[in-house]
Amino acid sequence: MRKKVIELESGERLLMREPTLDDVSNYITFFEGLAPVDRMFIKDEEINQDVVSKKITEMQAENFSGVIALIEDKIVGEVSISFPVMGWSNHVGDLQLVVTKEYRGKGVARALIREITLEAAKLGLHKIQVSILEKQESAGRLLKGGGFFKEGTLVNYIKDDQGKKHDLVVYGYSI
């Protein structure tokens, strides 16, 4: 993906591009600023320079793609898609999306989803799936508005940091 700049309804300029290793400290600041519920979906429990460097390097692999959203050089959102190179589901990408609380509802997530679905098509994927907590109703509306459909619900599938169980809703998108 090349760099892309859009103007949000607020008038702010949003830059979307692939992350580079120069973004490591900015990424750490971004991750550390996320709410605990948002950090639940980050696969690495510890966020440090090595973990973030590895994540950025993985985004340059043939089966992984990622886009960051920046406002004034500050990361305000990130989307990534990964998929197996071989096997029966190598046509399905697994999407992860997170936007800082202060930029939710401002068009950042919608723009990131649009970019990653275009990227998924270029990668030859036929389907994207994404999982959210059932209580993340605004995220569900965002996904439905972007053409995703509800695939199903996994009951008591997620356990938060306090041991409480939550239902996980899986959405799909056909390319």
pLDDT of 110: 95
Q: Indicate whether 57 belongs to any domain.
A: yes
Domain that holds residue 93: 4-125
Residue 40 tokens read as 């639940």
Into how many domains does the chain fold?
1
d(CA 138, CA 38): 14
pLDDT for the residue 84: 82
Averaged pLDDT, 147-172: 93
121 within a domain of the structure (yes/no) = yes
Distance CA 144, CA 142 (A): 6
pLDDT tens digit sequence for 57-79: 776 667 788 899 999 999 999 99
Residue 157 lies in a domain: no
Q: Which residues fall within 8 angstroms of residue 16, CB to CB, at 6 or more apart?
A: 1, 3, 4, 5, 6, 67, 68, 69, 70, 111, 112, 115
Residue 144 falls within a domain, yes or no?
A: no
Predicted confidence (pLDDT) at residue 108 exceeds the cutoff of 60: yes
Task: Give the CATH number for residue 27.
Answer: 3.40.630.30
Mean pLDDT, residues 30-56? 74
Report how far apart, in Å, the C-alpha atoms of 42 and of each of 28, 31, 39, 64, 129 are. Answer: 12, 9, 5, 15, 16
Confidence of residue 45 (pLDDT cuts 50, 70, 90): low
- Domain assignment present for 43: yes
In a domain, 164, yes or no: no
Distance CA 78, CA 66 (A): 7
Helix (H) or strand (E) holding 96: strand 92-99
Q: Which of 132, 127, 44 is nearest to 84 (CA)?
A: 127
Look up residue 52 and give its two tokens: 């973030």
Query: CA–CA separation, 65 vs 62, rounded Å?
Result: 8
